[in-house]
Structure 1
Amino acid sequence: MLRVLTLSTLFPDRNRPTFGVFVERQTRALAALADVEVRVVAGVSLPPWPLSLHRHYSGRRALPSHETLDELDVYRPRFCVLPRLEPLSGRALARAALPLLRALRREFPFDVIDAEFFWPDGVAAMHISEALGIPFSIKARGSDIHYWGARPTVRRQMVEAARRAGGLLAVSAALKASMTALGMPEDKIAVHYTGIDLDRFAPIDRSAAKAALGVKGSLLVSAGALIPLKGQRLVIEALAALPDATLLLVGDGPDRPALEALAAATGVASRVRFLGNRPHAELPALLGAADAMVLPSAREGLANVWVEALACGTPLIITDVGGAREVLRDAAAGRLVPRDALAIAAAARALLAGPSDQERIRESVSAFSWKRNAETLQEHLRSISRQRHQRGDDPAPFGA
C-alpha cells in the first residue's frame, strides 16, 4: 500500500468550487487506485490578526479545518501571509502544517509528500521533509515557474527545493525546459500530462447546443480567469471583425469591469456574454457548443481547458506558449496565433469557414486520461517513497 500526503494550496473549497479542480481530479484518480491511500492538506493563507477579520477573508475563516469530501479527507491548516513578505510563505505553510502532520502520522503513516504546486507548496514540502524524514515530489504547473520563478528570493528557495526533492514533475516538456533554465536538475524532471474525463467531455450536436444557449451564427468560447494574462481583451477586439459571432466568457476576475467597458466601446456588447464562474460540470456543454475555444494567454504550462475543448471536438485558437505545440499536433485541431486581435480574427475566420471534424479533433487528445495520469503518478511517487527506506532518513529538528 502506498500512502500519499498531497500538499496543495490549489484545491477547491465550498467558496471556490472550481479553484484547482484539476488538482482535485488528479488526486481522486490517484486515490481510486486499488493500492493507494491519500490524504490532502490544502493550506489556507490568511494575513495576521486583526487583518484576517476583514470581510474579504470571511469565506476562508469559515472553512472547516477538516472535512471528508466524497471519501477524500481534506485538512486545511491556516498559515500566515503578508503582502510583500511572500518569500516567507513556504516556511509559514510548513510550520502551520507540521503539528497536524505529526498527529496524522499516528493513524496515517504516509510514505511520500506530493506537492502539487511549486510555490509555496514545494518549498513547504522541503521543510516538512526535513522535519519528518519523508521524501517528497513537486509538480510544476505553469505560473509557479513563470511568475514566482521571476522573483529572485522565491526562485532561490524553489531551486533549493527542486534539488532536494526525490523527483519533479512538469505538465509539459516546454515547462520542463523552463524549470531547467531556472537551475532545476533536468534529470529529476519527468513530464506528467494532465488527464481528461473522456466520457464527460465528448462531441455533442453543436447546432442543438447553440440553440439551447439561444445563439445564432458562430460561437466562440473563452474559458479562464478574467485577468490580463489570459488575453480576453484581444478576443473582444477580434470580435469586432467577426460580425456573425457571439462570444461566451467563462470565468471571473478583476478584469471584468474593464472588459465590459471594452465590449461596449467596440460595439460588440450585445454579442459578448459574461457567464462568470460556472460549475465544472457545465463546461462540456459550453465547450461542445462552440465553433472554437479562444485563449490567447501570455503564458501557460499546459492548460486543462485546451484538452477539454479538444475532447469535445472543438478546435483551439491559442498562443504559442507552454505546451501548446504538444497539444496542437494536428492542423484540424486549431491554430497557434500571435497575441494580436487581427491574428485571432483571421484564425477564427479560417476555422469558421467550414464544419470542423469533431471526431478527428477529439482523437488528437485520446492519449490523455485520468487513469493513465494516476498510474504514472503512482509509479513516480512509489519510486520516491523507496528512497527513504534505502537511505534510512531520520527526522531533522525543523519546527520541533
Structure 2
Amino acid sequence: MKKIEHICFIVPNYPTKNDPVYTFVRELICSIADSGIKCTVIAPQSITNFIIKRKRKRPYFWEDYNENNYKIDIYQPIHAPFLNFKLKGSNLAGMITQFTVVRTFNKINQSPDTLYAHFWHSGVVAGHIGNNYNLPVFIASGESKIWVEKLYSKKKILRSLESVRGVISVSRKNMLESTSLGLASRDKIKVIPNSVNNKVFYKMNKREARKKLGFAEEDFIVAFTGSFNYRKGVLRLEEALKKNPGVKSLFIGSGELVPQCENILFQGKLPHNQVVTYLNAADIFVLPTLAEGCCNAIIEAMACGLPIISSNLSFNDDILDDQNSIRVDSKNIDELAKSIQYLKDNKDIRDRMAASSLVKAKELDIQNRSRKIVDFLRENL
C-alpha cells in the first residue's frame, strides 16, 4: 500500500468549543492525525453565521490540536450560501463556494497526497481540484439525503467526479442512494458506519451522574439529542411523552420547534463533552427521526449504555438491531408512546438492551473507523 503523509479535508463546517457543529468531522480528523498523517482542513464559513445568526466570525486560518497535541491546520474562508439561483445549470452559491475553496487550496504550503471530501457537494469541489492538480479524491457520503444535484448540473458533477478513487459510505442506505444517482459504481464504495470516541462517550455510574445534575434517583428519564426540527422528530417525541405522564425528559439541542411538555429536566444546547453526563443520567434514548445517513447521536447514546428507540427505516440497519433497540414508525405517536412505556415497565429488558448497546458501541470506535478509512485510501491511491 502507498504511503499517505498529508490529507486535505474539504468539509461543510468544523466545530469549536463554543460552536459544536460537525463534531463527527473533527473526531475523525483528530483520530487520523494520531496516526502521524498531516491534516489540513478547508471548511468555508457562511457569511450568514455572523450577520444573521450573530455567531463570532472565525479567523481565515487557525490551528487546532487534538488530545495528543497533533496540529491540524484549519482554513475557513467566507462564502455566501444564500445566493440560491441557477447560472448555466449550476447554483450560484455552489459556484462561489467552489471558487472560494479552490482559491484557499492554492494557498496551502504543502501539497497533500489526497483530498477527502465530506458529502457529495464538497466532493464535486474536491473533484474539480483533483482534476486540475492530478490528485486522487475520496468522498464520504453521510447525508440524510443526497442533494448535490441542487447545486451543480449533472454534466459538472460527472466531470468533477472523474478523479474520485473511492467513496466511504456511512450506511448501506447511502451506498444505494449514491449508486442509484449514478455518482459512483458499487465497486468504488466501502460501507464504514459512523463511530464514537469512547474516551468522550462512555458508561458512567447513573446514580453519580444524576447526583451531579440534581436529578432524582427514582425518575424514569428519556433523552433526546439532535436539532429541534421536524426531521429529527422533537415534537413527535413531545406528543409521545404526553401519553406517558410522570416520565421525565432531556432535550439536548436547539432549533425552531421547541418542546413544551411537562417534566422536562433539561432543554438546550450543551458543549459536546458535557453531553455524556446527561446521557448517563437517562434510562433510554429516543430519536424518532425520518432521515439520516448514519446517526452519530444514536451511537453516542449506545456508548453510554442506553437502549434505543428509533426509526425502522434502512438508515438504522447498520447500527441497530432487536438486541439494542426498539424500532418504530417514527410518525406513529402511539407506537412511540407504547415503546417508551414498555421499556419503563421492563427493567430486565432495558438492562439487556443496555449491555448490547455497549458491545456494539465498542465495535464502532473512532480509532477502528479511522484505521479502516486510511487503509481504504492507501489501497486505492
TM-score of the two chains, using structure 2 as the length reference: 0.87
Q: Secondary structure at the match of 1:124?
A: helix
Pairing 1:327–2:329 present: no
Once the two structures are superposed, the pairs formed by residues 281-360 of structure 1 within 5 Å of their partners are: 281-329=273-321, 331-339=322-330, 340-355=332-347, 356-357=350-351, 358-360=354-356
- Could you tell me how far apart the structure 1 residues matched to 2:173 and 2:266 are? 32
For the 8 Å contact 2:136–2:163, the answer to whether it is kept is no
Larger CA deviation: 371-380 vs 220-229? 371-380
What is the CA distance between 1:372 and its match in structure 2? 1.2
- Could you tell me how far apart the structure 2 residues matched to 1:108 and 1:153 are? 29
What is the CA distance between 1:274 and its match in structure 2? 4.8
Does 1 or 2 have the higher relative contact order (CA < 8 Å, sep 6+)?
A: 1
Pairing 1:79–2:79 present: yes
Pairing 1:98–2:106 present: no
Pairing 1:365–2:350 present: no
Pairing 1:55–2:51 present: yes
- Could you tell me how far apart the structure 2 residues matched to 1:351 and 1:101 are? 51
Once the two structures are superposed, the pairs formed by residues 173-188 of structure 1 within 5 Å of their partners are: 173-184=172-183, 185-188=185-188
What is the CA distance between 1:212 and its match in structure 2? 3.5
Who is 1:9 aligned against? 12
Once the two structures are superposed, the pairs formed by residues 1-400 of structure 1 within 5 Å of their partners are: 1-13=4-16, 15-16=18-19, 18-34=20-36, 36-46=37-47, 55-56=51-52, 58-59=54-55, 62-70=57-65, 71-85=71-85, 87-104=91-108, 107-119=109-121, 121-145=122-146, 148=147, 151=150, 158=157, 161-162=160-161, 164-184=163-183, 185-213=185-213, 214-215=215-216, 216-256=218-258, 259-260=259-260, 263=261, 268=262, 271-329=263-321, 331-339=322-330, 340-355=332-347, 356-357=350-351, 358-384=354-380, 386=381
* CA-atom RMSD in angstroms: 2.3
- The residue type equivalent to 2:189 in the other structure is I
Larger CA deviation: 319-328 vs 19-28? 319-328
Percent of aligned positions that are identical: 22
Unaligned runs of 5+ in 2: 66-70
What is the CA distance between 1:193 and its match in structure 2? 1.9
For the 8 Å contact 1:149–1:182, the answer to whether it is kept is no
Cα deviation code 1:215-250 (max 9, x no counterpart)? 442100110011111001111101112112111100
For the 8 Å contact 2:127–2:162, the answer to whether it is kept is no
Q: Secondary structure at the match of 1:364?
A: helix
Distance 1:254 1:150, change over 3 A: farther
- Could you tell me how far apart the structure 2 residues matched to 1:103 and 1:369 are? 34
- Could you tell me how far apart the structure 2 residues matched to 1:59 and 1:377 are? 33
For the 8 Å contact 2:206–2:281, the answer to whether it is kept is yes
Cα deviation code 1:122-141 (max 9, x no counterpart)? 11112222222222111111
- The residue type equivalent to 2:166 in the other structure is G
- The residue type equivalent to 1:196 in the other structure is V
TM-score of the two chains, using structure 1 as the length reference: 0.83
Unaligned runs of 5+ in 1: 387-400
What is the CA distance between 1:154 and its match in structure 2? 6.0
- Could you tell me how far apart the structure 2 residues matched to 1:345 and 1:150 are? 38
**Count, aligned residues:** 361
